């Protein structure tokens, strides 16, 4: 599968890039995609919610009044969850929501997501480029020339490109990520995946082998 390589001015360079079928043309595994999305979203949960239970609220532990003979319902202490100011029954406690997948499953999930994008012709390749200074208009013009403006765009750069990242801050539909940090959710959330040449090489080298893959 070949795609055109575009220059940083949005013009076709005349060269093509080969999308490795073992990365961009596999039978997507929807269950693995779901597991990886669940893993990523679980890692974003803090798990710090906490409420006070009856042993932690302020108040005496003395029985409010005697058990029998008052005509009232029997009660315990003022910390009871059924009384105003009492503790919370079965309250939230800090917990760790994270869970993990093995490296092959993480790799398969990203390959499956990329295959969905490639099958719908939503993968673009652009030459490696940098900006001398943050320039939102210049980056927006590139997207216009590539005919992807107005869509949710994932721009995967070969290295950390601070100027490109800052240029995209005022473009709400653009997500700029160094390719090493791109995960399954980033790919699925994008309408178009725009890869720098070096980013494409990295993805091909890493996802088409059985080597370790960064989480």
Q: How far apart are CA 14 and CA 128, in angstroms?
A: 15
Q: What is the pLDDT of residue 33?
A: 97
Q: How far apart are CA 175 and CA 83, in angstroms?
A: 50
Average pLDDT, the chain: 91
Q: What is the DSSP string of 143-209?
A: HHHTT-TTS-EEEEESS--HHHHHHTTT-TTEEEEEGGG--HHHHHH-SEEEEEHHHHHHHHHHHTS
pLDDT tens, residue by residue, 134-156: 999 999 999 999 989 889 999 99
Q: What is the pLDDT of residue 215?
A: 45
Q: What is the pLDDT of residue 212?
A: 42
At residue 213 the predicted structure's pLDDT band, cuts being 50, 70 and 90, is very low
| 11 neighbors 147 (Cβ within 8 angstroms) | no
pLDDT tens, residue by residue, 39-79: 999 999 999 999 999 999 998 889 999 999 999 999 999 99
> Which domains are assigned to the chain?
2-30+101-207 (3.40.1370.10), 46-96 (no CATH)
At residue 214 the predicted structure's pLDDT band, cuts being 50, 70 and 90, is very low
Please state the rounded mean pLDDT for residues 17-23. Answer: 92
Q: What is the pLDDT of residue 79?
A: 92
Please state the rounded mean pLDDT for residues 93-121. Answer: 94
Q: What is the pLDDT of residue 210?
A: 54
Please state the rounded mean pLDDT for residues 197-208. Answer: 92
């Amino acid at each position: 599968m070949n795609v055109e390589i575009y220059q940083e001015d949005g013009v076709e360079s005349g060269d093509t890039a080969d999308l490795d079928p073992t990365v961009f043309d596999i039978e997507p595994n929807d269950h693995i995609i779901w597991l990886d999305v669940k893993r990523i979203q679980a890692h974003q949960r803090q798990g710090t919610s906490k409420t006070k239970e009856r042993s932690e609220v302020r108040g005496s532990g003395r029985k409010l009044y005697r058990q029998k003979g008052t005509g009232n319902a029997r009660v315990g202490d003022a910390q009871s969850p059924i009384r105003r100011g009492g503790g919370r029954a079965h309250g939230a406690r800090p917990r760790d929501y994270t869970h993990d997948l093995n490296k092959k499953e993480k790799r398969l999930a990203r390959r499956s997501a990329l295959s969905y994008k490639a099958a719908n012709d939503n993968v673009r390749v652009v030459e490696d480029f940098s900006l001398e200074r943050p320039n939102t208009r210049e980056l927006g013009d590139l997207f216009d020339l590539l005919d992807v403006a107005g869509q949710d765009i994932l721009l995967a750069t070969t290295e950390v490109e601070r100027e490109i990242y800052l240029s995209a801050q005022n473009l709400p539909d653009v997500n700029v990520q160094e390719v090493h940090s791109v995960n399954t959710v980033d790919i699925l959330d994008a309408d178009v995946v725009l890869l720098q040449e070096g980013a494409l090489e990295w993805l091909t080298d890493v996802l088409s082998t059985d080597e370790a893959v960064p989480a």
